[in-house]
Amino acid sequence: MAFDDTKIENFKVVGTRVKRPDGMDKVTGKAKFGADVVAPGMLHAAVVRSPHAHARIIKIDASKAEALKGVKGVVTRADFAEGLTGGNLDVLENVMAGEKALYDGHAVAAVAATSALIARDAIKLVKVEYEVLPHVTDVDKAMKKDAPVIRAGTADKSVPLGMHENVVRYHESGHGDLEAGFAAADMVIEETFKTEATHQGYIEPHACLASMGDGNGDLWCCTQGHWNVQKLCAAMLGLEQSQLRVTASEIGGGFGGKTAVFIEPVALALSRKTNRPVKLVMSRSEVFRATGPTSSTSMDVKIGMNKEGIITAAEGTFRLQGGAFPGAPMEFTAMCAFAPYNIENVKQIGYDVLANRPKQAAYRAPGSPMAAFAVESVVNELCDKLGLDRLEVRLKNASKQGTKASFGPTWDRIGLVETLEAAQIHPHYAAPLKAGQGRGVSCGFWFNHGGETSVTLALSEDGTAQLSVGTPDIGGSRASMAQMAAEELGIPYENIRTTIADTATLGYNEVSHGSRVTYASGLATIEAARAAVKKLKGRAAAKWGIDEDAVVWEDGCAKPAGSNAGEFDPLPIEKLTAKMGSTGGPIVGHFEATPEGAGVSFATHIVDAEVDKETGHTKVVRYTVIQDAGKAINPAYVEGQFQGGAAQGIGWALNEEYIYGKDGRLQNSGFLDYRIPVASDLPMIDTVIVEVPNPGHPYGVRGVGETSICPPLAAIADAVSNAAGVQLKELPMSPQRILSALTEQARV
């Protein structure tokens, strides 16, 4: 998409730190989240979940539950559509087990009752007879010859012959001559790394209210993408998509984890069966056991470097476990791994491996943080052993416009070099460290995404505007959209109300994922506003009796383009909209497209950490995020995204992990045992916004939501390893792992 009217300077609203329109409602409890929606006659639902990691379902007897007073209906797999294939079948299998329960917590039935208490009592009365099967939860063990087969026949044609049936997809890419590249190196280092699955940790559990009528229905839910929910639920229930209207509630965090459906089809099936509205709210334990964490990984990385710090060759093998279904983002892991560097000889391999765990879901730049952990750790190790500066080496090898990406294409305008140069001059990089502290650095990369987008901007008679977008606001996008509309219309930010429209109101909108919202919905908002401005100019031209091309739009007014156009007083927007009913009708701007110019994004992080070698306790004491945002529409939100990614990365690096027992059951399905960082765990996270405009957006915007979680794992591992004096190659770097590494180092 080319832009004839690209604007990169002299912004009036864009680039300012306006107040968020949803802020007051959220801090006063007025905002309606998924569990806040109610309906007259509403039933409450609860889900029967497998207590086994892998088991054949022999029989489900719900008669006792159905006999319980207050129970109005029970659904099992038999209540969903038949004949689904491919991805839809996988989603249904995950939503409600068919022949087998594939992980601890897998849904096998659900009950609707007149109260949540009765529903919870009733699920205990549903008797499920299981044949328990061998299970596997570790990615390396799942690939071994003797591993139990989780879903036979799932592998696609990409998988090389001879691999275990749990390996279901394979990726290989790269270029050059690895052998020659490694031969040209002065030092070659090869290491193996592991990371555990981590949950997105959103504060709001999944929640929905479903109301089914005769062949149609309404669904209110917390989701990152309600058109996707509509599409999937319609398939699961055998409905026409247009007969199911889905409304997105406020969302208490998603980070990728709310791009899928889990309970929504179940609530709809129960509503259809009982002919009553049905509310279904997950407990925190259910969120951990049965929604998607990220993949766990096992990775081998080999890099060759010469004495000058040039990377001569690099090779990575990335094994990702994505639960009992295909889809672990191993191709992103592979493609992101070496993306920051211009490497002549490079190869990356990815394996998507099934295990008896919940189906992984996207988590902020899915697959990329783990790749950065492995690759950047080896780069740092090479820098140390060759006596080279970490940032100098990265600058020497940095990808830039015109160099070839490790996964093939030639880069357009990108901002990695600018983030590295900003890191070099940042006071943090030269600040002295105290005893027991270590410093780490890392780069990170994410693609960003465009996707189907539809926006409507309707002007009111008083000259204010109603902006309808279809991308749920997961990071402050209502404010950013209003800023961009205000910039184009030339009216105050406060004069625009942004609404997240339901599926009956706009054309299809892809999920709020891929850091796409400020880019794609923003682009659509700008174009919709420009369409409305064109109509405003037309009305002014008609009033003045001049050509529309002789009218310009400035500061919220139509003005003659020059003295040749005639002498007319400026016509402000409110004068034009007040008369719009009698001058041609309502003025509305639309934009519907699939923007394809999402600019990629790079970041460089600097971290200081200190380690207590007696207890293994680690504390991050200083953190700086430097990232290319293209153009920061609202710098406060951009900084918030930078800080949020770093905070989640700190949790992933130091504490968070899914812990499975020998029985294959999740041992830590609550925030007491699954420890996410709290405020007291974190330093103030400093941020530097680098702005290298994206040529694919009218203001130069690049997505910022995901890249910020790519560098932390490696940067923190670097800092902790330097502080502890031992290299840590497995996440999380919990006190036990640090003490084990120190003990092992002392033993050797």
Partner 1 sequence: MVSVNLWSGLRAFADGKDVVEVDAKNVGEVLSGLVAAYPGLEHAIEAGVSVAVDGKVIARGLTNEVKPDSEIYLLQQLKGG
Q: Which of 80, 373, 446, 493 binds partner 1 (CB under 8 A)?
A: 446
Residue 41 or 402 having the CB closest to partner 1 = 402
630 is a site residue for partner 1 (CB under 8 A):
no
Q: Which of 16, 88, 114, 173 binds partner 1 (CB under 8 A)?
A: 173
Residue 182 or 429 having the CB closest to partner 1 = 182
User: How far apart, in whole angstroms, are the C-alpha atoms of residue 375 and residue 371?
Assistant: 6
Q: What's the min distance (Å) between Cβ of 641 and partner 1?
A: 12
222 neighbors 34 (Cβ within 8 angstroms): yes
Residue 417 or 724 having the CB closest to partner 1 = 417
**Secondary structure class of 480 (helix, strand, coil):** helix
- Window of 101-109, 123-131, 357-365, 382-390 that interacts with partner 1 by CB under 8 A: 357-365
685 neighbors 639 (Cβ within 8 angstroms): no
Q: What's the min distance (Å) between Cβ of 419 and partner 1?
A: 19
Residue 478 or 516 having the CB closest to partner 1 = 516
The amino acid sitting at 432 is: P
Q: What's the min distance (Å) between Cβ of 260 and partner 1?
A: 11
409 is a site residue for partner 1 (CB under 8 A):
yes
- Binders of partner 1 among residues 75 to 134 (CB under 8 A) are none
Q: What's the min distance (Å) between Cβ of 362 and partner 1?
A: 4
164 is a site residue for partner 1 (CB under 8 A):
no
- E strand segments, 366-482: 437-446, 453-459, 465-469
Question: C-alpha 223: how far from its chain's center?
Answer: 12
177 is a site residue for partner 1 (CB under 8 A):
no
Residue 556 or 651 having the CB closest to partner 1 = 651
- Residue among 463, 420, 471 at smallest CA distance from 442: 420
296 is a site residue for partner 1 (CB under 8 A):
no
How do beta strands 571-572 and 437-446 pair? unpaired
Q: Which of 10, 85, 410, 680 binds partner 1 (CB under 8 A)?
A: 410
Neighbours of 401 (CB within 10 A): 12
Residue 324: which region, alpha, beta or left (left: phi > 0; alpha: psi -120 to 50)? alpha
516 is a site residue for partner 1 (CB under 8 A):
yes
| Binding-residue total with partner 1 (CB under 8 A) | 46
In the structure, how many helices (H) and strands (E) does the chain have? 20, 26
Neighbours of 59 (CB within 10 A): 8
Element containing residue 265 per DSSP (H, E) = helix 264-274
Residue 294 or 634 having the CB closest to partner 1 = 294
CA–CA distance from 326 to each of 96, 154, 292, 320, 359 (Å)? 17, 8, 13, 10, 8
597 is a site residue for partner 1 (CB under 8 A):
yes
Q: Which of 61, 172, 547, 744 binds partner 1 (CB under 8 A)?
A: 172
353 is a site residue for partner 1 (CB under 8 A):
no
Q: Which residues are CB-contacts of 203 (< 8 A; sequence separation ≥ 6)?
A: 252, 253
Q: Which residues are CB-contacts of 9 (< 8 A; sequence separation ≥ 6)?
A: none
User: How far apart, in whole angstroms, are the C-alpha atoms of residue 82 and residue 74?
Assistant: 18
- Binders of partner 1 among residues 252 to 271 (CB under 8 A) are 255-257, 259
Q: Which of 23, 41, 134, 408 binds partner 1 (CB under 8 A)?
A: 408
Q: Which of 449, 478, 619, 622 binds partner 1 (CB under 8 A)?
A: 449
- Window of 27-35, 302-310, 315-323, 360-368 that interacts with partner 1 by CB under 8 A: 360-368
Q: Which of 515, 604, 643, 734 binds partner 1 (CB under 8 A)?
A: 515
560 is a site residue for partner 1 (CB under 8 A):
no
Q: Which of 80, 170, 182, 674 binds partner 1 (CB under 8 A)?
A: 170
Q: What's the min distance (Å) between Cβ of 101 and partner 1?
A: 27
Binding mask 4-43 for partner 1 (x = CB under 8 A): ----------------------------------------
- Window of 111-119, 403-411, 673-681, 720-728 that interacts with partner 1 by CB under 8 A: 403-411
452 is a site residue for partner 1 (CB under 8 A):
yes
Q: Which of 202, 341, 363, 493 binds partner 1 (CB under 8 A)?
A: 363
- Binders of partner 1 among residues 686 to 705 (CB under 8 A) are 696
231 is a site residue for partner 1 (CB under 8 A):
no
Q: What's the min distance (Å) between Cβ of 173 and partner 1?
A: 4
For the CA atoms of the chain, what is the radius of gyration?
27
Residue 1 token pair: 């998409």
- Residue among 9, 8, 13 at smallest CA distance from 488: 13
Residue 76 or 345 having the CB closest to partner 1 = 345
157 is a site residue for partner 1 (CB under 8 A):
yes
The amino acid sitting at 208 is: C
Residue 452 or 718 having the CB closest to partner 1 = 452
b/e sequence 549-588, b meaning 16+ C-beta within 10 Å: ebbbbeebbbbbeeeebeebeebbbbbbbeebeebeeebb
Residue 453 token pair: 């987008």
Torsion of the alpha carbons at 335, 338, 344 and 350, rounded to the nearest 10 = -40
CA–CA distance from 497 to each of 454, 469, 476, 519 (Å)? 17, 11, 13, 19
**Secondary structure class of 362 (helix, strand, coil):** coil
582 is a site residue for partner 1 (CB under 8 A):
no
Q: What's the min distance (Å) between Cβ of 331 and partner 1?
A: 4
398 neighbors 414 (Cβ within 8 angstroms): no
Residue 52 token pair: 């086994």
411 is a site residue for partner 1 (CB under 8 A):
yes
- Binders of partner 1 among residues 474 to 513 (CB under 8 A) are 513
Neighbours of 408 (CB within 10 A): 10
**Secondary structure class of 107 (helix, strand, coil):** strand
- E strand segments, 573-640: 588-593, 601-611, 618-628
CA–CA distance from 330 to each of 224, 304, 333, 367 (Å)? 22, 23, 5, 6
- Residue among 734, 715, 718 at smallest CA distance from 726: 718
156 is a site residue for partner 1 (CB under 8 A):
yes
598 is a site residue for partner 1 (CB under 8 A):
yes
514 is a site residue for partner 1 (CB under 8 A):
yes
The residues binding partner 1 (CB under 8 A) are 156-158, 170-174, 200, 255-257, 259, 331-332, 335, 347, 361-366, 407-412, 446-452, 513-516, 594, 596-598, 696, 706
